[in-house]
Amino acid sequence: MRKITVIAGLVAAASVALVGCDVQKTQEGNVSVPKYEVSKTKEGDVTLPKYDVTAPSVEVKTKEAEVLVPKVGLQEETVKVPSIDVKTADEKKAEEGKVASNK
């Protein structure tokens, strides 16, 4: 459970970080691809087969059942948890502008 929570937190942090990005093109790219020539050597006739498909019927239900469930006790404990501070590109630029004007 803890592993899933940590993974979900990291995914959320990465999503926030990507949304806060400011992307600027700094260099033009150059791509040259090879050229190919294709020639037809034979006439063809294509007829695709037809299918009648009957999908299965699926029903999802719940039912009551008796199962053994472990009882877990809880105690409060202080632990270190990750803390994430995200500054968007605009916030960073504004902060850098304040630092430059104070010098």
Instruction: Return mean pLDDT, the chain.
Output: 81
| Cα atoms found within 13 Å of the Cα of residue 63, Cβ hemisphere only | 3
**For range 80-95, the mean pLDDT:** 84
CB 86 within 8 A of CB 20: yes
Task: Tell me the C-alpha distance between 31 and 3, whole Å.
Answer: 43
pLDDT reading at 28 higher than 70: yes
- pTM of the shown model: 0.27
Task: Tell me the C-alpha distance between 60 and 98, whole Å.
Answer: 59
Tokens of 65: 């059942």
Longest dimension (CA), the chain: 78
